[in-house]
A and B are shown apart, each in its own frame.
Chain A
Amino acid sequence: MTMAPKREAYDVVVVGAGPAGLAAAATSAEAGLLTLLLDENIGPGGQVYRAIASTPVTERNQLGADYWVGADLVQALRTSDAEIIQRATVWSLDRNLEIAVSVGGASAFVKARRVILATGALERPFPIPGWTLPGVMTAGAAQTMLKSSALVPDGRTVIAGQGPLLWLLAAQILRLGGRIDRILDTTERGNYFAALPHVFAFLTSPYFAKGLAMMREVRAKVQVVSGVTELAASGDGQLASVNYVAGGKRETTPADLLLLHQGVVPNVNLAMAAGIEHRWDDLQLCWSPVLDASGNSSVAGIAIAGDGAGIGGAGAAVVRGRIAARAAVEALAPAVAAKLTPMAALRADLAKAERGRIFLDTLFRPAPQFRIPSGDTIVCRCEEVTAKDILDAVAIGATGPNQLKAYRRTGMGPCQGRLCGLTVTELMAQARAKSPQEIGYYRLRAPVKPITLAELAAVPKTEADVKAVVRG
């Protein structure tokens, strides 16, 4: 399947084969639009349905019914006429809806009449002391290994953080016979009160019963420490122990593996590089694109669906994918649109899928000390820049992330700010007594993922391009 796109132009190009992308591409292709789905991973599914078509985990109940929903989405897509390319990395998207995609070490350019970005989410940075030590990973990383390779922790394992994914992962690890020594719950006690007004919607949402059952399942087998207010990993070149404070008491527990998780945030790099306007979301504490009800962004022709549009979970992502695709069909093939599920019905589905989300966002809003580090704690993993370095830069006049970049190289490494950007914005906002919106974000540009120089060199060029470079 690792082949270049068959055509130079498509009606709809969907980026990302997670729940939103799978649903969007299937909807678009079923409506007869020439559809291309580009995905970076080895197989479809995104993160939530990771390895859905290839997982070695055959006992279905171990991964849970929600996971297998992905199989139906993949099936629907595969029976459609959509062209699907895996291991295809989109490295540029511009206002002319021109997409540069790297497949098998070579780049191809395709033009779209509509682009649907379904680039999903990534885990929020969890910049505690020692988070760069070998042996410290994200919970999502462990879940990826579990789903795609049936690998589970077998050393002394601590899971720390908060949010639904953390409990799901813990349950899955236990079901597959993996080891968890302790769970450190960092949910702020005050959040329970803050979330109360939204509790009714949550109680009547699909999250509630499932979540409760899962927590019960995990608590029966693992020691859970609640109210953790401080957290650090330590070791000499390798994780040796996890230090934490709970209820005012400082504890240390030896560990080989620490899995961190404090929610997910939109993966904005491609959208921002395309020039799409984003705003700071004060509840979800991240950048979210400015979109209309159909997912259309500030750049004409580009829509965003799924968690990249603001975190809503897999169920909502599927519906958002269908909404964005339907909007594309309405624009490109209005006659066909009439035969699709009406927009009103899709919006009702979305409201249902998003039910309980505000409760979760409020309850699992990460505490400031886990988002805004201090002292020698590394913020930028690639360039190894600490919180203190950033505060020093603010003291000599850095007003925002881009001036900081010039002073300290934050965000200049290969990850291009994905693991430090939010921390930098919040840290600078705190230091300057400004809002994150006022501080802003890195100015992102193509290539949004690295490509080789040879690949860039192979891009077609004109005589004028040569003249712009060769000048005596």
Chain B
Amino acid sequence: MSRAFSSEVDAGSREENASKQESEVPFRFNRNGASRDYDVAVVGGGLLGSAIAWGLGRLGKSVAVLDEGDITKRASRANFALVWVQSKGLGMPAYTVWTVQASQAWSRLAAELKQQTGLDVALQQNGGFHLTLGEDEFGQRTELVKRMHNQAGAADYKMEMLPASEVKKALPLIGPEVSGGSFCPLDGHVNSLRTFRAFHTGFKAFGIDYLPERPVSAISKSGGEFRLTTPKGELRASKVVLAAGNANQTLAPMVGLYAPMGPTRGQIVVTERTMPFLPHPLTTIRQTDEGTVMIGDSKEDELDDRALKHSVSAVMADRAQRMFPHLARLNVVRSWAGIRVMPQDGFPIYDQSETHPGAFVACCHSGVTLASNHTFEIARMVAQGALEPELVGAFSASRFGAGAANTSGY
């Protein structure tokens, strides 16, 4: 069954394709294992890959999302769900600008997801705190805020230090050890698991093929087409977006790209549901719309996400109960470790291949915060075939120096 390149297909007929598809075989692999063609193959079905894929589907592109299975390292299932601005971008002003833009575009993303899927992702952007315990921490945070403000070119994101008495007005349940904290009115949080579900739910309406249990082992390009090897057959697409988290490090060189990663482990503790008590999210404590309290987070070199270090969770728990003494009596129902997707210098990587035109790489730590940019901006640029230097030029892997020789450095 042949099918027009969907760059020529508008959004209206895409929906028709979607409904046809349901009655067909679930995936577009033909009998000899080769696939029909897609405009774009997105490698990675986590929040980042899903945001880009959904954004491409929104533009009427035919998209396949290749993902791993049930048990794999998934930051999308392990994250802390902040939509966060404060303290992002020290050392790279462009990252601040990019983050502020994402924060501002999030309400549009939430609204579009709601409209399409009926799912409320519980976006709340009424400002967020970073609380400090004791005078030393307050002093250190004050220094950081100063450095942020002094950074040339950094967007004005209104981060300010507040004494404990001011913090208490917004967060009445803080304990006596809280010395104050920084506040940024742009900060917020979202239900990231529901966002993840909303993207995947939305795939259907856009006719996007979500293909799990298909880790990509090889990518080649011939005849103007990318061929992606998976255990369930080969898939072809005009473009490819690598959005496989830390695995981008091994995938990128297959298409002449470079993505040096430096993953770390983070632990999170979550309590049973309790009545709402926390009107603003904190860097380390947030109450979900369901009522559970999430307490984060550690940064460890250990990369085994099955193991847990209780003594590290203990530090998190201890700090949480010092910030909000009433939390001490709550029950912890789960804790987990996740592996952070982390480019080596901590800033996002968005790049396009010079040797393999049509190949893009995208990876970043803040897949929740930046989801709106991935949906609206990265998807748009991938669709048009080129990244825009004025928007994301700073994030090229060429910044890593010699190792990045193969990237365009646009």
- Interface segment, one of B104-112, B164-172, B198-206, B355-363: B198-206
Given contacts A469-B312, A472-B144, contact A445 B334 (CB under 8 A): yes
A-B pairs with CB below 8 Å: how many? Answer: 154
A342 at the interface (CB under 8 A from B): no
Q: Is the CB of B71 within 8 A of A446?
A: no
State A153–B204 Cα separation when bound (angstroms).
Answer: 51
Contacting residue for B141 out of A396, A447, A472, CB 8 A: A472
Is B298 interfacial (CB 8 A cutoff)? yes
**Which positions 396-413 of chain A face chain B at CB distance < 8 Å?**
396-403, 405-409, 412-413
Q: B405 to chain A: which residues have CB within 8 Å?
A: none
In the assembled complex, which residues on chain A have CB atoms less than 8 Å from the CB atom of B269? 453, 456
Residues 326 to 357 of chain B near chain A (Cβ within 8 Å): 327-336
Supposing A396-B200, A407-B197, A465-B312 touch, asked if A450 and B213 sit within 8 A by C-beta, the answer is: no
Whether B70 contacts A440 by the Cβ 8 Å rule is yes
A1 in the interface (beta carbon within 8 A)? no
CA distance A396 to B334 in the complex (A): 26
| A-side contacts of B200, CB under 8 Å | 396-397, 407
Q: Are B332 and A459 in contact (CB under 8 A)?
A: no
Closest Cβ–Cβ distance, residue B177 to chain A (whole Å): 13
Residue interface bits B299-330, CB-to-A below 8 A is 1, else 0: 11000001111111111111111000001111
Given contacts A397-B200, A400-B71, A472-B141, contact A456 B333 (CB under 8 A): no
A445 touches B336 (CB 8 A): yes
* Residue B281 lies at the interface, judged by CB distance under 8 Å to chain A: no
- A79: interface (CB < 8 Å): no
Chain A residues numbered 419-472 whose CB sits less than 8 Å from any CB in chain B? 439-440, 443, 445-447, 450-454, 456-462, 465-466, 468-472
Asked if B179 is at the interface of the complex by the 8 Å CB criterion, the answer is: no
Once the chains bind, are B45 and A397 in contact (CB under 8 Å)? yes
Are the CB atoms of B203 and A396 closer together than 8 Å?
yes
Complex: A299 Cα to B321 Cα, angstroms: 35
A138 contacts the other chain (CB 8 A): no
How many interface residues does B have (CB within 8 Å)? 57
Asked whether B193 is an interface residue with its Cβ less than 8 Å from the other chain, the reply is yes
Give the CA-CA distance A23 to B207 in the complex, in Å: 60
Docked-complex contact B213 and A453, CB < 8 angstroms: no
Shortest distance between the CB of A110 and any CB in chain B (Å): 13
Chain A residues with CB under 8 Å of B137's CB are 470
Is B238 interfacial (CB 8 A cutoff)?
no
A81 to B233, CA, bound (A): 62
Contact with A along B355-374 (1 / 0, CB 8 A): 00000000000000000000
Write the chain A residue with the least CB distance to B313: A456
Residues of A within 8 A of B84 (CB): none
Known: A453-B321, A468-B298. A396 touches B197 (CB 8 A): yes
Given the contacts A465-B309, A468-B299, A446 and B328 also touching, CB distance less than 8 Å: no
Residues of B within 8 A of A460 (CB): 311, 314
- Residue from the list B45, B201, B330 in contact with A452, Cβ < 8 A: B330
Q: Which residue of A lies closest to B212 (CB)?
A: A399
- Contact call B329/A453, Cβ cutoff below 8 A: yes
- Per the 8 Å Cβ criterion, residues 125-146 of B in contact with A are 137, 140-141, 144
Asked if B183 is at the interface of the complex by the 8 Å CB criterion, the answer is no
- Across the interface, do A454 and B197 meet the contact criterion of CB distance under 8 Å? no
Is B272 close to A, CB under 8 A?
Answer: yes
B328 A414 Cβ-Cβ under 8 A: no
Residues from chain A with Cβ under 8 Å of B327 in the complex: 453
- Whether B311 pairs with A452 at a CB distance below 8 angstroms is no
> Is A100 an interface position by the 8 A CB rule?
yes
Given A406-B196, A414-B272, A452-B331, A92 and B310 contact (CB-CB distance below 8 Å):
yes
A47 on interface, CB distance cutoff 8 Å: no
What residue of chain B has the Cβ atom nearest to residue A402's Cβ?
Answer: B70
Cα(A439)–Cα(B70), bound, Å: 8
CB <8 Å contact, B321 and A457: yes
Interface string of A84-100 (1 = CB under 8 A from B): 00000000101100001
Q: Are B328 and A454 in contact (CB under 8 A)?
A: yes
Contact B310 A414 (CB under 8 A): no
Whether B330 contacts A100 by the Cβ 8 Å rule is no
Residues of B within 8 A of A471 (CB): 299
Chain B CB within 8 A of A416 CB? yes
B398 to chain A: which residues have CB within 8 Å? none
Q: Given the complex of chains A and B, what is the CA–CA distance between A405 and B45 in angstroms?
A: 16
Q: Kindly supply a per-residue 1/0 record for chain B positions 263-291, scoring 1 wherever the CB is within 8 Å of any chain A CB and 0 otherwise.
A: 00000010110000000000000000010
Query: In the complex, which of the residues B141, B213, B310, B320 has the most CB atoms of chain A within 10 Å of its own CB atom?
Result: B310
Residues of B within 8 A of A227 (CB): none
The answer to whether A401 touches B332, judged by C-beta atoms less than 8 angstroms apart, is: no
Residues on B with beta carbons closer than 8 Å to the beta carbon of A134: none
**A400 cross-chain contacts in B, Cβ below 8 A:** 69-71
| B336 (CB) vs chain A CBs: closest residue | A445
Residue B210 is within 8 A (CB to CB) of chain A in the complex: yes
Asked if A275 is at the interface (CB within 8 A of a chain B CB), the reply is yes
Residues of B within 8 A of A416 (CB): 333-334
CB pairs A–B below 8 angstroms (24 shown): A395-B204, A396-B201, A399-B212, A402-B77, A406-B76, A407-B193, A407-B200, A416-B334, A439-B70, A450-B331, A450-B333, A451-B332, A452-B328, A453-B331, A453-B332, A456-B310, A457-B317, A459-B311, A459-B313, A461-B312, A469-B312, A469-B319, A470-B319, A471-B299
Known: A452-B331, A465-B311. 17 other contacts (CB 8 A): A95-B307, A396-B204, A397-B203, A399-B69, A399-B213, A400-B69, A414-B333, A452-B328, A454-B321, A456-B314, A456-B317, A457-B328, A459-B310, A460-B314, A461-B311, A469-B299, A470-B319
5 closest A-B pairs by CB: A400-B70, A459-B314, A450-B331, A457-B318, A454-B328
